[in-house]
Amino acid sequence: MKKLLVVLLALGLIVAFGATASAADLKFSGTYYVTGNYVDNPGAYGSDSQYSKAYFWQRFRLQPVFQIAEGLTFTARMDAMEKKWGDTQWKGKYSDETSSRYDGKSTGNSKSQESMEWERAYVTFLSKVGQFQVGYQAADEWGTQFGDSGTTRPRIMFTSAVGPMILAAVYEKIYEVDGLSNGLVDADYDTYALFGIFKFKGGEAGLLWKYYNDASTRPTGVSTLQYRGQVHLLSPYMKATFGPVYVEAELGYTFGKVMKSDLAAVPDVDMDGWNGYVKGQYNFGPGNVGLQVGYSSGDNGDSSTKVKAFQGGCGTSWNPALLLLNDDLNTQQTTSTGTVTNPNGVTNKKLNVLIINAYAGFNPTAKLNLTAALTYAEAADAKWRDISTGVVTEQADKKLGTEFDVTATYKIFDQLTYMVGAGYLWAGDYFKLAGSSSDVGNSYIVKNQLTLTF
């Protein structure tokens, strides 16, 4: 009897392992990088207040894609161990709470201090009329890299190809009030978008319309200021290659009501902001030269009923310089006045700014790239009006500064690269405190980065 049971079990195992798998096919992609930074005088302070920062920073990103059936996939994305080396604040405390270093909760960027974060999960399926994507997926990415912020939001996106055209409709849920105990009604934040992309030989062009319906600022049963935001965005872009010349450009214009008041005694506040970007690159043999310009309008405070600042700024993905206005560096340091573009404090969207960047690259070998870049930046307006308080602050000057960078990138393997670079910033008087005669000092950065992609 025992022998019979053993034989039956063996046959069962053979059948189980030999049967066609019913589970989904699984593919992985991802990146891992570790960066070493030394930043001298990141606040661009005068000689009396100089300090420096030196640290390593890493991030592991994994994106599995489950192929469930033909035309049906499920995609997820996880970021893990995104933190400074040796930084224990991500746990909210040191492991030894009796240590004199224990400081309770983290004071860093909490989202970047998590040990593991599953931030995307969405299903993609094809139908007879087009493709659907439903779930937490990539958002704030459109056209060129300029203006992008690479965030994640719950969305429903439908796309359909019509000849050389791609047409799409998108719904996003940014804020949901249901489930809270504050009794709010009609206080959600949603967006709706339509876009079209036309593909042509050597390039593409597109147009986006997006509507932001922000009612999250409408508390009920309160006699103080109650309002909603109803803002429209129009954004065309193009990318094209003409022989050895590559050109891309993008424009954003926002209009509507940034504050549509629910109270008769409080006037509405209109939105009238814009940003723009153009890049041209000439490729020759083993090298290239290029020029790119980005702009985001500011608000000088001359009208209390109109906001002229473009709220998305230049985005966080476009970083022409290693130090000046670099949002990746700002995230890693968690606090850095070296990226200030308005007197309200640190920003990660490059608001109220003009950036001009010229660069040249050369490949002496197939594995080595050398690049030099010169970046100039200034504020669009020396004055800045805070939308929430109405307070207008004026800086000493519009000039943020000029930075010179050099980088060398070596391809160790096809999937593994090592970069070393340095940048020096001649800081402008914008970094003086408003109404102050404080000194401004120059800054520099030395960095290296190992990047693995798979």
Closest to 239 in 3D by CA, of 226, 228, 250, 223 = 250
Question: 111: which 2 tokens?
Answer: 């989202």
DSSP state at residue 244: T
- pLDDT of 49 reads 61
- pLDDT of 420 reads 98
- Among 59-63, 124-128, 167-171, 181-185, the range scoring the smallest mean pLDDT is 181-185
Residue 21's DSSP bridge partners are none
Question: 144: which 2 tokens?
Answer: 């060129």
Between CA 375 and CA 255 the distance in angstroms is 30
pLDDT single digits (tens) 297-324: 988 878 878 888 898 899 999 999 999 9
Between CA 370 and CA 361 the distance in angstroms is 6
Is 348 within 8 Å of 387 (Cβ atoms)? no
* Percentage of residues of the chain with pLDDT beyond 70: 79
Most confident range, picked from 102-116, 360-374, 383-397? 360-374
The mean predicted confidence, pLDDT, of the chain is 83
Q: Which ranges constitute the DSSP H helices of 292-441?
A: 327-333
State the pTM of this model. Answer: 0.85
Question: 181: which 2 tokens?
Answer: 């105990």
- pLDDT of 225 reads 63
Between 26 and 104, the higher pLDDT residue? 26
Residue 224's DSSP bridge partners are none
pLDDT single digits (tens) 206-258: 999 999 999 887 765 455 567 788 999 999 999 999 999 999 999 999 999 98
